[in-house]
Amino acid sequence: MRLNQAVELQGRLVALVPYTARHVLRYHQWMKSEELQKLTASEPLTLEQEYQMQRNWQDDADKCTFIVLDKLKWVGGLCTEEDCMVGDVNLFLTDPEDPTIAEIEIMIAEPSYRGKGFGKETTMVMMYYGVTKLGIKKFQAKINLENTISIAMFQSFHFEEGNRRDDLKTGNLKQIWHQNLTRSLNSSGPEYLWPLNIRKKCLFVLAAVKAFQMAESLEKH
């Protein structure tokens, strides 16, 4: 997506930067992992195919991709940007007739960074960007049923269980989870979306949700 090509987003642990050609080699190394292929329902690509996909995603208006960096290492200049990479996060605008719906994908590829809050903060920062800059009101996540860690994380954001279906590429059964921001905000307020322990770490997300709620209120009058 051209819209995010000059955008950098920062949280407490992570920095999100646009996916460019400089990141492809490291990303390609990650996706050789059979574990990641299974968890993300991805097929292995050649290096040239990865470069072509990066170019396509950069130009496509319905895909927004960021590379996840270890912020402390990156800001401190302790390593190159490529060596600070820990994963990626994507928003896909899946409904041409409703650009307020997006599918979110998050991958923490480096095993040493899992279970330390990087995935949760990345998801919050990306949802914040989607709400405030892309006008997203409903998020979906399609998760392999064996990926219990990812399911638990999205449940912590109050995503609701949806349909199950077979992935046509891999044959794996996936669960579709939904988070409707408009309904959640109108029914329970921002506290419903962002649990207290998470809000303390990312207050800017709460501020963004409140701003979104105010915008919704103004539109009704």
Domains of the chain: 2-220 (3.40.630.30)
Of 98 and 40, more confident: 98
Whether 195 has a pLDDT exceeding 50, the answer reads no
Question: For residue 144, which phi and psi values (nearest 5 degrees)?
Answer: -60, 135
Percent of the chain whose predicted confidence (pLDDT) is above 70: 75
Whether 202 has a pLDDT exceeding 90, the answer reads no
What is the structure's pLDDT at 39?
80
Whether 157 has a pLDDT exceeding 60, the answer reads yes
Tens digit of pLDDT for each residue in 158-172? 888 877 665 544 444
Is 112 exposed, middle or buried (CB count within 10 Å of its CB: 0-12, 13-18, 19+)?
exposed
Whether 211 has a pLDDT exceeding 50, the answer reads no
| pTM exceeding the 0.85 threshold for the entire prediction | no
Copy the structure tokens of residue 184.
Answer: 């959640």
Question: Over the Cα atoms of the chain, what is R_g?
Answer: 17
Average pLDDT rounded to a whole number, residues 3-11: 88
Copy the structure tokens of residue 186.
Answer: 């109108």
CA atoms within 13 A on the CB side of 42: 19
Of 182 and 129, more confident: 129
What is the structure's pLDDT at 47?
96
What is the structure's pLDDT at 62?
93
